[in-house]
Amino acid sequence: MDALANDNQPLDIVPVYSLNEEQENKEIVRHYRALLRSLKTKVKKGDKELLRTAFEMAVEAHKTMRRKSGEPYIFHPLAVAMICVDEIGLGIRSTICALLHDTVEDTDITLDDLKSEFGNEIAKIVDGLTKISTVMSANSSQQAENFKKILLTLTDDPRVILIKLADRLHNMRTMDSMKHEKQLKIASETIWVYAPLAHRMGLYNIKTELEDLSMKYLEPDKYREIARKLSETKRERTKYINEFIRPLKEKLSHTGLNIEIFGRPKSIHSIWNKIKKKGVSFEEVYDLFAIRVILDVPLEKEKEECWKVYSMITDEYMPSPERLRDWLSNPKSNGYEALHTTVMGPQGKWVEVQIRTKRMNEIAEKGLAAHFKYKEGTQNEDRFDKWFIQIREALGNQEEEGIDFLQDFKTSFLAEEIYVYTPKGEVKMLPINSSALDFAFYIHTAIGSKCIGAKVNHKLVPISHKLRSGDQIEIITSNKQKPSEDWLNSVVTAKAKNSIKDALREEKKAIAEEGKYTLQRKLEGLGAAYSPYNIDQLVNYYKLSSHLDLHYNIATKIIDLKELKLFQVIGDKIEAPKPIIAPAEVYVPSNDTAKTYSKKESELIIFGESSDRIQYALGKCCNPIPGDDVFGFVSTGKGLIIHRTNCPNATQLLANYGHRVVKTKWAKNKEISFLTGLSIIGLDDVGVVNKITNIISGELKINIAALTIESKDGLFQGTIKVYVHDKDELEVLVDRISTLNGIQKVTRFDTETV
């Protein structure tokens, strides 16, 4: 049984029946032995037998199962275990959990089986990794509820989330065999929750790969375009990096320090974010790469030597003062330490330089696992622990819906951080965009509830004032103050939101009692019972989320119940009238006039999996047109809404409400035109408007719905709303306008309502 001592020892593999049974079994053994070799330095007495038992149990449990690609399922747990060991730096216990992570959910193995074989610790982690398979209500999300359960375990044992991230990474790497709509849902969940979580746990490499893989499925055209351009410019980039590094190597070689210096390309996703955020082209993104300087120095000399290297780099190249990031003095709460600066390099290009030690680099790459390895009285020793305590507090609010919790978790715990000071000079870490009110609740719930204002750097500010790193805050309170609904717009932290909601809920319950009494009287007047069934009918009719909201809205006269006469009373039950869904607006040119299609005619556009023509509406947030990659979303009370897959709201909808997504595609119909919009920027020239309209109406015979042009300081900015048949026609229009002299940029509206 000594698998580590003898790599050639035969293994008791249960045969996997397939055309290539022998080759598959050999491949399984090869993967297992590679895993053993990676673990060699971490193995203690008794570990080998446990690993072998876990492996054989996993092979036996999954023996008849295959992945969508056709390969034996056991390859997945083996790959997840390898990611845990090689890319996260976890040990034997985590490897066993990774091998068994799907057994309880997908096979006959129970938690009790694991407990008797491996003990409570491993059974508990596998339980945390086991997905929830309950039927979900319309107002919640399986993903959100599952995530909440995982986080409950995370606060006891962080390995749960680390193995979960490894599981997600391998699924993302091997998603090509899945259906397109499944790819969209999983990629959206990944970018929405798992990539920020990997970032927060300090796993920067995994975070970057998750973002890139998500983009590959969510925005395949942009992904391929940036990947191609990165490949084409690689030689030129390498040449520039070498030119930048040469004088630095020369300078640093005289210090006697053991220093490694190299350039690394930025991820495709981060380049795409820059392009979108700054409104520039690929060619205009200056920081396509970063220079990394890694020092091998003792712990006690780290800070001193990093600043020394910074000084030598800025002697050679002029730094940008506002781009210095000092995470040596104030490490991030995920343990990340480094000095970042941006300097002016050769040929007038800005270059980002990151300075770290070997220890800091390992923490940056392996996050939490490496952080605990080096946890020897360092000043950031308990930062993860504090983070877990805050999560535990947030999880204490059991009344919050899964979706709301997930949103709050993202803004509170997965965001970048700022550090601020109390009046006594204590440092507090808060998520970016935190307000003075967030700070007040962070100090204590009672202080937050009574907060009327604050002094930031000794100046009086309102409670909604956004804080910045380095601010010193003093909170001003009053016993007459109490939380109000609009406070929720001024806070981002889960603690502040939960405390405000708790206070409002108590007040709301008292007011709602009056509404409950009014509703009871009205229902009895109709001959209907005041029953949970009837209250549910009214909650759904008024599109509310709870009985409490209904009672409260009746008490505060927001609802006056006059619509009750529209309800049918059968026995002691009421039945709500059916909602009317308005047809989608589409446009058909006829004798140069526009007309809107009737409901019957508008059913010609999109059909689902059954190929039936169905009623739909177009998402106002992204205005899809034929040819766009789209999905259907079943919205409460509004029927099927069509969104582009790169719509600003798509990620959240697909991640949180995957069960409401319908596969849709365009039917071919050249009779119908769709409203869309273009933004144009160029040099202000005589006749420019005339040239643009000639192309649209004259050359391409496209109908214009609206046109606005504003001119300032020799530049003009215009927006044009046009009716096009499909994406191809829109792209021809964009290309034609782009060829006009002086036109700098033509882009389609992404988020504006056209």
Token digits of residue 458: 């000794």
Distance CA 683, CA 664 (A): 41
The pLDDT assigned to 339 comes to 92
**pLDDT above 80: residue 413:** no
Token digits of residue 338: 């480094």
Confidence of residue 155 (pLDDT cuts 50, 70, 90): low
Distance CA 25, CA 230 (A): 39
The pLDDT assigned to 143 comes to 53
Q: Are the C-beta atoms of residues 27 and 42 closer than 8 Å to each other?
A: no
3-state secondary structure of 452: strand
Catalytic (active-site) positions: 105-106
**Phi, psi for residue 689 in degrees, rounded to 5:** -65, -40
Mean pLDDT of 338-348: 89
Eight-class DSSP state of 132: P
* CA-based nearest residue to 342, from 310, 372, 369, 368: 310
Distance CA 753, CA 649 (A): 13
Distance CA 205, CA 183 (A): 22
* CA-based nearest residue to 320, from 292, 294, 286: 286
The pLDDT assigned to 306 comes to 92
Residue 597 region by backbone torsions, left for phi larger than 0, else alpha for psi between -120 and 50, else beta: beta
In the block, residue with structure tokens 């009746």 = 554
The pLDDT assigned to 103 comes to 84
Mean pLDDT of 613-619: 72
Token digits of residue 340: 């970042």
**pLDDT above 50: residue 607:** no
Token digits of residue 450: 């009574």
DSSP H helical ranges for 21-108: 21-39, 47-61, 75-83, 92-100, 103-106
The pLDDT assigned to 447 comes to 92
In the block, residue with structure tokens 């409104």 = 279
Greatest mean pLDDT among 2-16, 106-120, 428-442, 537-551 lies in 428-442
* CA-based nearest residue to 31, from 49, 55, 5: 55
Q: Please give the sequence-ordered ranges of beta strands (E in DSSP) within 630-698, or none if there are none.
A: 630-635, 639-644, 661-662, 665-666, 674-683
Contacts of 125 (CB under 8 A, 6+ apart): 93, 94, 97, 153, 157, 159, 160, 163
b/e 416-430 (16+ beta carbons within 10 angstroms → b): ebbbbeeeeeeebbb
DSSP string for 289-311: EEEEEEEE--GGGHHHHHHHHHH
Strand order in the sheet with 459-461: 459-461, 451-456, 473-477
Quick one: the chain helix, strand, coil %, rounded to 5? Answer: 50, 20, 35
**pLDDT above 70: residue 545:** yes
Distance CA 326, CA 283 (A): 29
Token digits of residue 578: 């059916």
Eight-class DSSP state of 471: -
- pLDDT digits over 37-69, tens only? 888 888 887 788 888 898 888 888 888 888 887
CA 457, 463, 465, 469 dihedral sign is positive
Mean pLDDT of 96-120: 85
The pLDDT assigned to 368 comes to 64
Distance CA 645, CA 430 (A): 33
Mean pLDDT of 380-399: 57
Distance CA 540, CA 637 (A): 9
Confidence of residue 7 (pLDDT cuts 50, 70, 90): very low
Eight-class DSSP state of 259: E
- pLDDT digits over 283-321, tens only? 777 677 889 999 999 988 889 999 999 999 999 999 988
Eight-class DSSP state of 134: P
Confidence of residue 144 (pLDDT cuts 50, 70, 90): low
Mean pLDDT of 730-749: 85
**pLDDT above 70: residue 735:** yes
Distance CA 209, CA 87 (A): 12
- pLDDT digits over 160-212, tens only? 888 888 999 999 999 988 888 888 888 888 888 788 888 877 788 899 999 99
Does 577 or 716 have the greater pLDDT score? Answer: 716
The pLDDT assigned to 13 comes to 44
Confidence of residue 465 (pLDDT cuts 50, 70, 90): very high
The pLDDT assigned to 648 comes to 80
Biggest CA pair distance of the chain:
94
Domains and CATH numbers, the chain: 21-219 (1.10.3210.10), 226-373 (3.30.460.10), 384-501 (3.10.20.30), 502-575 (no CATH), 587-666 (no CATH), 674-748 (3.30.70.260)
Q: Are the C-beta atoms of residues 165 and 197 closer than 8 Å to each other?
A: yes
Greatest mean pLDDT among 9-23, 148-162, 426-440, 653-667 lies in 426-440
Lowest mean pLDDT among 274-283, 375-384, 570-579, 581-590: 581-590
The pLDDT assigned to 580 comes to 44
Distance CA 417, CA 602 (A): 49
Token digits of residue 532: 């949970």
**pLDDT above 60: residue 146:** no
DSSP string for 148-210: HHHHHHHTT-THHHHHHHHHHHHHHHT-TTS-HHHHHHHHHHIIIIIHHHHHHTT-HHHHHHH
The model's pTM is 0.67
b/e 147-162 (16+ beta carbons within 10 angstroms → b): bbbbbebbbebbbbbb
- pLDDT digits over 639-665, tens only? 788 888 888 888 878 777 777 777 777
Look at strands 417-421 and 573-575 and give their pairing. unpaired
Contacts of 622 (CB under 8 A, 6+ apart): 643, 644, 646, 647, 648, 649, 650, 750, 751
Does 373 or 127 have the greater pLDDT score? Answer: 127
Distance CA 256, CA 441 (A): 50
Give me the chain's average pLDDT, please.
78
Q: Euclidean distance between the first and final Cα of the chain, in Å?
A: 69
* CA-based nearest residue to 627, from 586, 587, 677, 667: 667
Token digits of residue 115: 């407990």
CA 230, 236, 240, 245 dihedral sign is positive
* CA-based nearest residue to 470, from 520, 418, 431, 430: 418
Give percent of the chain above pLDDT 90. Answer: 13
Mean pLDDT of 253-269: 86
The pLDDT assigned to 600 comes to 34
